[in-house]
Chain A
Amino acid sequence: MKPPPFDYARPESLEEALDLLARHGDEAKLLAGGQSLMAMLNFRLLAPAILVDINRLDRLAGIEEGDGRLSIGALTRHHALETSDLVAERLPVLHAAMGHVAHLAIRNRGTVGGSLAHADPAAELPAMMCLLDATLRVAGPAGTREISVHDFFTGALETALGDDEILLGIDLPSLPPGTAWGFEEFSRRAGDFALAGVAVLVEPTGAVRLALLGVDETPVRARAAEAELARGALSDAAVGQAVEALRAEISPLDDLHAGADYRRHLAGVLTTRALAAARARLA
């Protein structure tokens, strides 16, 4: 379990980093927190020619508020997000989800950008971005561009990010005051990847957002279920219909820890519970 040989570069600037990516293309891998990458290297699942260590790009770390949104730099550590008062106040659902991200030691090193670029469908952050309608800011050889989170996750461990691009950060639009939330996930052990997880937002207008993790190849916004809930004003009947709808709109995978049927069942149970929590917060 030692990584295969690789070259290592630690650029001091974004330009330098982009230049390295431009030169090495898909032979290069960005190293941020390393919490997924190093394990994959040690298993020799990856053999990049060069690791581009972006930990010196301090300007990519930080949480700022402005312009009706919260901006989070890609190099922000999970632990910074978890302990941010700003996040706890403005986006309590995100704050709640962060406590489920792996273990403290991993949260200390792991980064927001790393988690999104790695795109594990059972991870919390990708689903939270879908819930919060995030916009991802990306730099590439031709300058910067923005990608809606709904176009970002293209498959399991696959994103719209090009080999020559670097994720700079994300912008999260503010939530209307009085938005209620719920977050539920189930994992075999504290800190494990979830077998399934659900986050909901209920806006004062009655609009509902529902995002799931661990139940498909990508995080899922359950649009059909959202529509049922909005139509039925969160009544018990509407919740029941929403659960039916979302069980139809997800395609869970079988793996070692849970079969598709169980995950589909779990998604419904957790959705019901998350909605109950949100309703309790509305009241």
Chain B
Amino acid sequence: MSETQRPKSVGARVQRLEDPRLLAGRGRFTDDHRAPDTLHLAFRRSEEAHARILAIDTATAAAMPGVVAVFTAADLAGEIRPVRAESRMRDYYATEFVALATNKVRYVGEAIAVVAAESRYLAEDAAAEIEVDFESLPPLGDTDAALAEGAALLHEEAASNVIARREFARGEVEEAFFAAPHRVGGRFRMHRKTPAAIENRAYRAEFDPGRGHLTVHSATQVPGLIRDALAEILDLPGSRLRVVAGDVGGGFGGKASLYPEEVVVAALARRLEATVKWTGDRLEDLTTTSQAFDEVVEAELAFDGAGRLLGLTAEVVGDVGAYSIYPWTASLEPVQVISFLPGPYRLPAYRGAVRAVATNKPPMGPYRGVGRPVSVFVMERLIDMAASKLGLDPVEMRRRNLVAADEFPYRAGSGLMWDRSGFHECLEAAVAEIDYAGRRAAQSAGPGADGRLIGIGVASYAELTGIGSRISAAPGMPINTGTETATIQLDSTGAVRAAFGIASHGQGLETTLAQVIADELGVAPDAVEIVQGDSAAVPHGTGTYASRSTVLAGGAAILSARGLRERIVQVAALLFEAAADDVEITDGIVAVAGTDRRMSFRELAKAFYSEMGRLPREVRDELALEVTRVYDPFFGTTTSATHIAVVAVDPETCEVEVLDYAVAEDCGRVINPAIVDGQVHGGVAQGIGAALFEEVRHDADGQCLTGSFVDYVVPSAAEIPAISVTHVESVLPATEGGFRGMGEGGTIGATGAIANAVTDALRPLDIDIMELPVTPERLFRLIQNAKINAKTKERDET
């Protein structure tokens, strides 16, 4: 069979290879390992948002039943070396990573002391008996409090509560605004969100005192990063420190950082020479896992009478919480807001400035979309506000401003470079899919019999995915996140094993990478064993985040699989005494074209490794059946999409129902459409959560008010509509394989689409959605105010 006739796995809806295990309850999650003699940890956490620790009394706790040991920061001073989330960024202060609070606590829930006991129950009983003597300090409940004249300092050494600043500028902004006939703008607010993965964070460490080996099982997205960090913190060589992320039940960014509990579990396993485990509960997850999207954006857009964009300005204040998260830094989320604000549009002048402000809240960290759900909310609202001002249809407004095919590569106002991506193609595909014209016609007929107002909202965006080594995934972070390694081997039993540094935690990478390798090698996907989520799998790896794994690991997989195939072909040629060009591989069978000479991978491997005399002796070295390649896409590539949401708003109950939702996205070559659909569905659900439901709330004293799923409202299946996904492959990018990343896009587009749809529905009431999530309570107040304003206007006019 020729190359073109061979059935391809890439592009097919291959069923997820990990699903039989996961769906039958046979996955192995960190908490599933229940070895006897495991010590369970419980943390004494701060009930104060901002306070000095005067004294800690652990005596009562230490004497309680089942308690093995109690530790404070002072007890572990010699075992935990300090680290900081460094950045080359100017105007940035790197707070110290704090495993257990020392002289100060900075958010409610911060760990102060830890109990190791025979069970979690006993550990919690004892933790409750640890007495902490606090001297309360003024709480910085939000950025206004932290920025106020004379505000208390969260980190005295930083000399300011503003711990990062950044500005991007391009073009003549002042001139553009001065000359512009039209402007729209305002103050946009997006509230704090938490990732809320189904599996809480969990860590379990085993220490082998004879060998001095420490193995940390971590529910993490980034075992490689954690291994490197722990090696520094615990002063251990990587050869004696292994970090394994087995099955992980979602992360969404919340499991992409180093956590205090992770460091404490690892340090105590070594200190106590025992297996030590901590599994976070939901209260701990909702109060201590990194949070995101907590920003205020003052933005203004200038445009001409034809709707052409002329300039954009934005001032962003990000509430980054108490610490600069390791290793991404506190600048990650807020800087992304201004990096991506110009969106997929032709925009000659831009200035975006951001301040990252420390407050007494849990640290801000990466969360699916990182900053971009906020930029898209703001920019897409501005585009609709501009369209409305000119009486243009929102789709037409976008048609006039999206970067066109012949303008790529296009440098955005923040300096980002867009390679060719289907900006217009996605817009048109989404418009067709949702029957936009039909919807508008139906909408113009007025509200239905139930009195609900129908709204249609469009959002287009572009994001940078699969970022290579040219820039780090976080601003100025001195850690290379731009390469990925694949080692593929054919072992002596004829089995194919491919090892990576990525860490799948729901993305289906065990399937998509197997599909990629299957096509290169000429085997079925389920014949490829994917090894990932283990720092020992390859010499260097970081993990899975930033929509990178398919692009980077997929590229490395292609390169190494090709190399291995070449060697297998050469070995076969020697064994068959045939020309290498005549050897072909199909379904794991190696054959000489046009003959009946064939052998399985197993037979070939046996001949290669075990059967003496079948091959010249130097061949076993020269054609060693293991190939390692490192892939670095250097720049990364642009993924783009248009989302269109149709909502119904009940102006009486203030309920918003999402009726319909269409996504058209260009993620380059689609490896597995079912997996892309699933990723988009999940992302959109989280974006709808951000737009309508989810909000981490703290009171002015920094107490968390949303400590359970009763109060932190995640949408359930009942609140999420059917979502149609159209895959647009415009022009394949220059990445190996033509893949673009697509794990985050669903969330990125949804905030803007929902905000625009709700605004569109409320047009009769003249309401602009400027704050997300738009909860029923907020909508009620907006509608009440609109009614009062309408009355005032009416009175003034008469």
Contact = CB atoms under 8 A, between A and B. Distances in A.
Q: By DSSP majority rule, is chain A's interface helix, strand, loop, or mixed?
A: loop
A258 interface: yes
A188 B709 CA distance: 12
Nearest to A254: B777
B120 A2 contact: yes
11 contacts: A1-B283, A189-B693, A189-B716, A189-B719, A190-B718, A256-B697, A256-B705, A256-B706, A258-B777, A262-B780, A269-B653
A1 B697 CA distance: 20
B404 interface: no
B124 A2 contact: yes
Contacts of B781: 262
Contacts of B491: none
A8 interface: no
B673 interface: no
Contact of B652 (A3, A191, A193, A269): A269
B469 interface: no
Nearest to A42: B281
B128 interface: yes
A192 B718 CA distance: 12
A96 B654 CA distance: 23
Contacts of B655: 186
Given A262-B654, A269-B652, A189 B718 contact: yes
Interface string A133-160: 0000000000000000000000000000
A186 B650 CA distance: 11
A100 to B, nearest CB: 12
A43 B708 CA distance: 10
Nearest to B121: A2
Give 3 nearest A-B pairs by CB, closest first.
Answer: A1-B281, A190-B718, A262-B780
Nearest to B654: A262
A191 B719 CA distance: 11
B715 interface: yes
B710 to A, nearest CB: 7
Nearest to B123: A2
B160 interface: no
B124 A193 contact: no
Contact of B780 (A4, A188, A193, A265): A265
A256 B704 CA distance: 11
Given A191-B716, A256-B705, A44 B128 contact: yes
A212 B77 CA distance: 58
Interface in B706-722: 706, 708, 710-711, 713, 715-716, 718-719
Interface string A1-33: 111110000000000000000000000000000
A5 B655 CA distance: 43
B653 A257 contact: no
Given A4-B128, A261-B780, A266-B654, 4 more contacts: A5-B125, A186-B776, A191-B718, A262-B776
Contacts of B283: 1, 43
Contacts of B606: none
B40 to A, nearest CB: 10
A178 interface: no
Interface string A42-53: 011000000000
Interface residues of A, number: 26
Contacts of A188: 693, 713, 775-776
Nearest to B284: A1
A259 B780 CA distance: 10
Nearest to A190: B718
A1 B706 CA distance: 15
A195 interface: yes
A257 B777 contact: yes
- Output the residue of A1, A5, A259, A266 with the most chain B CB within 10 A: A1
Contacts of B629: none
B282 interface: yes
A266 B777 CA distance: 10
Specify which of A186, A191, A195, A262 lies most central, judged by the most chain B CB atoms within 10 Å of its CB. Answer: A262
Contacts of A3: 121
A190 B653 CA distance: 15
Interface in A169-183: none
A132 B711 CA distance: 31
A38 to B, nearest CB: 13
A80 B487 CA distance: 58
Contact of A190 (B282, B654, B716, B777): B716
Contact of A259 (B128, B705, B777): B777
Given A1-B281, A2-B120, A5-B125, A186 B719 contact: no
A202 B283 CA distance: 45
A198 to B, nearest CB: 12
B775 to A, nearest CB: 7
Interface string B100-128: 00000000000000000000110011001
Contacts of B711: 256-257
Given A44-B128, A257-B775, A262-B777, A189 B715 contact: yes
B693 A195 contact: no
A30 B438 CA distance: 59
